[in-house]
Structure 1
Amino acid sequence: MIIDTHLHILDLDTLKYPWLADVAPLNHNHLYADYASQADAAGITATLHMEADVAPDLIDAEIRNVEAVARGANGRLTGMIAACRPEDDRFAAWLENIGENSMIHGLRRPLHVVPDAVSQDAKFRANLALLGKAGLSFDLCVLARQLPLAIALVDALPDVTFVLDHCGVPDIAGNDFTPWAAHISDLAKRANVVVKISGIQAYAGVTGPDAEILRPWFEHSIAAFGWDRAIWGSDWPVCNLGGDLAGWVAKTRTLLAGCSDDERNALLWKNAVRLWNLPVLE
């Protein structure tokens, strides 16, 4: 069983994604139906939608769109990580308004597309602190060079649960392992952080990278955080920049060969169920 904690629906007929203008291979619709057929074939049991960095004025529209898709997904789309803007003066009121939405399990504000100072701002941190009381996690989407900033943010907010997306976006193509590995080990010392094993096949600089290219980055992430603080995600359709969904699932299974059933199940679904109190679909 696999729970995919990182699906992006790109619905260009309904929403706007400014960043897609610079990523031509992804600049078209990637709808849930397209994903679902591939996910079923790959053995993915359930999924969470990850916000797709829509235009800021369409954040609430994206939430409504995902809710509508979920109603027709036979229980397989079990929730979402919604977009947010903690740097906004209206954040606290907005958070209160979404507080009763049982579909929302966490929030994300991509930090690799804004100035580094954003995550260090006092207002940003004060607003993020509200997530602890709200019972919502916060996904950290940062570049490898920004990991020290992520550590500083986590240290400032010990009552918030953080999920590090994409193993901290390592430069696999450039084989820039040592500084990334040191920062990952440092971040993993913070008990309120979970690592998401996702997206890394797109960082190898080649299409369909061999699993052995990804192994050092995968194994260090697991060794640093432990099997009980790691979850799995596809990053579909962004993962297609380095292959496809079936290829990423196959590589994951190769990387897990030799692991115990408990370790494999912890990564692929049990930790996500525990983290977000998700339903278990057989």
Structure 2
Amino acid sequence: MTSTAALVDAHHHLWDLALRPQPWLDDPAVTSIRRTFTPDDLRSTATHPIAGRRLHSTVVVQCVADVPETEDLLALAEEEPLIGAVVGWADLTSPAVGDVLDGLLAGPGGTYLRSLRHLVQGETDAGWLQRPDVERGLAAVRDRGLRYDVLIRSHQLDQAVRLAERFPDLPQVLNHAGKPSIARGELADWGRQVRLLAGHPQVVCKVSGLITEADHGTWTTADIRPVWDVLLSSFGPDRLMFGSDWPVANLAGGWNRWAATVDELLTGCAESDIQALLAGTASAFYGLPRHAEDTEPPTGATQHT
């Protein structure tokens, strides 16, 4: 392996609290990350290599149900060489969602919009992803060649399975492996549903957000390994992608500790599997540059969010 091989972080966030509020940061449990985070912060933080690879490209993901935030991220991606793609938000339930998507795609940085996401984890409707208005919105996403990032909690995985069944032609990625209950050790039902979901070839999965589902202060690699093993056996490395969930990951150890954990978990894996999990799957899913793995990490000035 060469030191120039790419590492893609397929899931991170950025926010500038002077520009746009993040109401979810009012929760006392996240006080430590209640500040602005910029691409330069990510560069200075993400220094630990994984399998000899250093951070090359990223996918920045929306945080709030707010189209202007997506516009901010798209404009930033146009100026920031580290960002290869944006996962944005639009109201899937709106009859005008197609027009909103068209506006985003045609606006500044619109070519970086590759996927949509909604915080389904916060919806109390046990069939939210199967609502007729939501399915109409998902069809609009599909018809524009976009993907869908599935953000749910483990008890909502049945919705993700039904979504995969009803939209075989919509590429989907499960965020944070469906948020397994690592801290409580309750993985049996999660594992069964993940295996069902992995039976749908249009669905891939992010190996991200796991350390914040474990005990924030005491987790070890041994706590993460059972989840890793299920994901690897269910999806295979060519349908898994590394993500940091930074800066949320700072609540449970941070970017470098998670990177070191993934580095350890990859011990003994074939080079082709490592390439898929650390760059190939994300590059294919999000339409990142085809030969990113053969280029040097980008440098240069950044535009803060």
TM range (shorter): over 0.9
- 5 Å-filtered alignment, 1:36-55, equals 36-42=43-49, 43-53=54-64
2:3 paired with 1:9: no
Aligned to 1:133: 143
Q: Structure 1 regions of 5+ residues with no counterpart?
A: none
Q: Matches of 2:157 and 2:78 in 1, distance apart?
A: 37
2:99 paired with 1:99: no
Aligned to 2:244: 234
Whichever residue aligns with residue 121 of structure 1, its letter is R
Q: Matches of 1:206 and 1:276 in 2, distance apart?
A: 30
Q: TM-score, normalised by structure 1?
A: 0.93
Aligned to 1:267: 277
Q: Deviations over 1:69-111 (max 9, x none)?
A: 33553x2111211112201222121122223421111111110
Q: Matches of 2:285 and 2:79 in 1, distance apart?
A: 25
Aligned to 1:245: 255
Q: Deviations over 1:102-154 (max 9, x none)?
A: 11111111100122342221010121012222111100000000001111122
Q: Matches of 2:95 and 2:182 in 1, distance apart?
A: 38
Structure 1 range deviating more: 38-47 or 223-232? 38-47
Whichever residue aligns with residue 131 of structure 2, its letter is D
- 5 Å-filtered alignment, 1:96-175, equals 96-100=102-106, 101-116=110-125, 117-175=127-185
Q: Secondary structure at the match of 1:171?
A: coil
CA contact (8 A) 2:47 2:256 kept: no
Aligned to 1:29: 36
Aligned length: 277
User: 1:32, CA displacement in angstroms?
Assistant: 1.9
CA RMSD of aligned residues (A): 1.6
CA contact (8 A) 2:88 2:115 kept: yes
Structure richer in helix, relative to its length: 1
Identity %: 28
Q: Secondary structure at the match of 1:235?
A: coil
Aligned to 1:84: 90
User: 1:193, CA displacement in angstroms?
Assistant: 0.5
User: 1:40, CA displacement in angstroms?
Assistant: 4.4
Q: Matches of 2:140 and 2:78 in 1, distance apart?
A: 29
CA contact (8 A) 1:196 1:231 kept: yes
CA contact (8 A) 1:201 1:208 kept: no
Q: Secondary structure at the match of 1:129?
A: helix
Structure 1 range deviating more: 182-191 or 85-94? 85-94
2:188 to 178, 181, 188: 178
Whichever residue aligns with residue 36 of structure 1, its letter is R
Q: Secondary structure at the match of 1:253?
A: helix
Structure 1 range deviating more: 134-143 or 270-279? 270-279
Q: Secondary structure at the match of 1:81?
A: strand
Aligned to 2:234: 224
Aligned to 1:201: 211
Structure 1 range deviating more: 241-250 or 30-39? 30-39
Whichever residue aligns with residue 61 of structure 2, its letter is M
CA contact (8 A) 1:208 1:243 kept: no
Q: Secondary structure at the match of 2:261?
A: helix
Q: Structure 2 regions of 5+ residues with no counterpart?
A: 1-5, 297-305
Does 1 or 2 have the higher relative contact order (CA < 8 Å, sep 6+)?
2
